[in-house]
Amino acid sequence: MNYQTEHDCLCWGGVNTRKLAEEYGTPLYVMDEMMIRQAAADHTEAIKNYFGGNGRAVFASKAFCCKEIYRLLKEEEFGADVVSGGELYTAVAAGMDAAKLVFHGNNKTKEELSMAIRYGVGLIVVDNFYELERLNRLAGEEGVTQQILLRIKPGVEAHTHAFIQTGQIDSKFGLALETGEAMEAVKAALAASNLDLQGVHCHIGSQIFDTEPFGLAAKVMVEFMSDVREETGETLPILNLGGGFGISYLPTDDPKPVAEYYATIRKAMEESCNEVAFPMPFLMTEPGRSIVGPAGITLYTIGNVKEIPGVRTYVSVDGGMTDNPRYALYQADYTATVANRMKKAKTEKVTIAGKCCESGDLLQEHMDLQPCTPGDLLAVFATGAYNYSMSSNYNRIPRPAVVFCKEGKSRVVVERETYGDLMRNDY
């Protein structure tokens, strides 16, 4: 990987990380604003190229949610997918046009559904029959016709390096195709007087490297849309294929450029549509990780370095599973560097430990790193997605600040939590 450096120090968004640590403290989430904008533009551009404008991407808020990301993505003409009242509230408070929001969730509460209707959310993705009925009633009470998609289990499940085609009935999300449940739901949705069924949605997984599963999902979904037309006479206009575009965490990771995913999707949709003489649907996608993941790094101050002869070396940092639970949860891979020793070779094998009272509080094991001493700065790469958004206050540790950097300038977009913040709701 190629990084900008200054006096042996890593720079991010044109700002020296040593200066960032001095100014804002550590741990610190740092995001390169131009990388986020470029990633968003890559999706927009690819959709323009392969779908001629007959499609759009919305940002999956769960990857990184705060007011500023919505303001920034609004400038990039992005909408967003939200999965809770909290994400919805933040998006609208930040000035996102509710009509450009897609509301997800397998168990949205009545309050969340009412809120979405009142805010004028563009599309609510209905997950199940209970929700369908409830939403129809609530929309009726509000005197509106709510546009919806139905969440379908397409039977294509993708993992990072492989994908499987299964019945996949066993998922808490969505409606199964092969049991007839999905078709039943379509009929129920079409019969619901306060709902306007616009199309179907599926999400086949996250951090997917292969483009093929997207093609397969597109094919299965178009075939279902054609079946719907046959059974009900309705030609649904929208196909939403969710998120899942992979990013690089390790030097060996080699995800395809997003344009290749869209090329595959386009080809599969075109072929399937031609086969059954179905008009090309409007394509939606919901990228999260690929928009914000690579743009983020986390800076930590290294504390004690504990060498256990013949066992391993623990390098402890001033954060951990509270700001990045992904290793503890999924053994997720990361690459890191000693940000103030960029010219040194990575000659050590170390385990990065957090500061929580928990043995499993590790950020990475057996990782190559430069020799380091207390006071050095550790930068972990590709932490822009699912880090801040999955952070916690375990051990009453305040959440770090989030700083955006652009062309050598930095600004705080989320303040570091204080001890006072931690007690705000305590009696």
Q: Which residues contact 194 (CB under 8 A, 6 or more apart)?
A: 135, 136, 137, 139, 140, 144, 145, 146
Q: Does 294 bind ligand LLP (CB under 6 A)?
A: no
Instruction: Determine whether 221 is exposed, middle or buried from the number of CB atoms within 10 Å of its CB (0-12, 13-18, 19+).
Output: buried
Between 13 and 288, CB nearer to ligand LLP:
288
Q: Is 424 exposed, middle or buried (0-12, 13-18, 19+ CB in 10 A)?
A: exposed
Of 66, 357, 372, 405, the catalytic one is 357
- Which of residues 37 and 346 has its CB atom nearest to ligand LLP in the complex? 37
CB of 188 to ligand LLP, least distance (A): 21
Q: Does 81 bind ligand LLP (CB under 6 A)?
A: yes
User: Where does this chain touch ligand LLP (CB under 6 A) — which range of 188-196, 221-229, 243-251, 393-401?
Assistant: 243-251
Q: Which of 63, 135, 200, 217 binds ligand LLP (CB under 6 A)?
A: 63
User: What is the signed CA dihedral for 331, 333, 334, 335, rounded to 10 degrees?
Assistant: 130
Distance CA 61, CA 174 (A): 19
153 contributes a contact to ligand LLP by CB under 6 A: no
Which member of 244, 319, 354, 400 binds ligand LLP (CB under 6 A)? 244
Choose one: 40-48, 211-219, 249-257, 281-289; the region binding ligand LLP (CB under 6 A).
Answer: 281-289
Query: Are 236 and 185 spatial neighbours (Cβ–Cβ below 8 Å)?
Result: no
Q: Which residue from 154, 243, 281, 294 is in contact with ligand LLP, where contact means CB under 6 A?
A: 243
Interface size with ligand LLP, residues (CB under 6 A): 19
**If phi over 0 gives left and psi between -120 and 50 gives alpha, with beta otherwise, what is residue 4?**
beta
Identity of the amino acid at 73: L
Strand partners, 10: 5
The structure tokens listed for 374 are 């207390």
Is residue 357 part of the annotated active site? The answer reads yes
Q: How far is the CB of 190 from ligand LLP (least distance, A)?
A: 23
Residue with tokens 């046009």: 97
Biggest CA-to-CA distance, the chain: 72
Q: Which of 13, 85, 215, 288 binds ligand LLP (CB under 6 A)?
A: 288
Interface region with ligand LLP, contact rule CB under 6 A, candidates 57-65, 223-231, 298-306, 362-370: 57-65
User: Which active-site residues does the annotation give?
Assistant: 357
User: Which residues would be at the binding site for ligand LLP (CB under 6 A)?
Assistant: 60, 62-63, 81, 104, 203, 206-207, 242-245, 286-290, 326, 386
